[in-house]
Amino acid sequence: MVATPSEHDPLVAEVYDQIKDMTVKEAILFVKKLQVERIREAHTKLVEEIGPMVNDKVERTKAGVGKR
């Protein structure tokens, strides 16, 4: 099976352009590195969006526990 760039997904086309001249081993390592970077970015975004809500709930819970 031959990989070809996708006209429908610019990320696939970009990755294809970067790995087309690599060995299989180099390409696998490159794609794994990209996956790790995307997971880190998603985690950071999640922490930034959800973190304040969780912290607010924790603070309200602490305040409620002190009133008993």
Give the tens place of pLDDT for each residue, 21-60: 999 999 999 999 999 999 999 999 988 888 888 878 777 7
| 55 within a domain of the structure (yes/no) | yes
Provide the domain count of the chain: 1
| 6 within a domain of the structure (yes/no) | no
Residues 6+ apart with CB under 8 A from 61: none
| 38 within a domain of the structure (yes/no) | yes
Domain span at residue 25 reads 12-66
pLDDT at position 1: 46
| 52 within a domain of the structure (yes/no) | yes
Q: In Å, how far from its chain's centre is CA 16?
A: 19
pLDDT at position 3: 54
| 5 within a domain of the structure (yes/no) | no
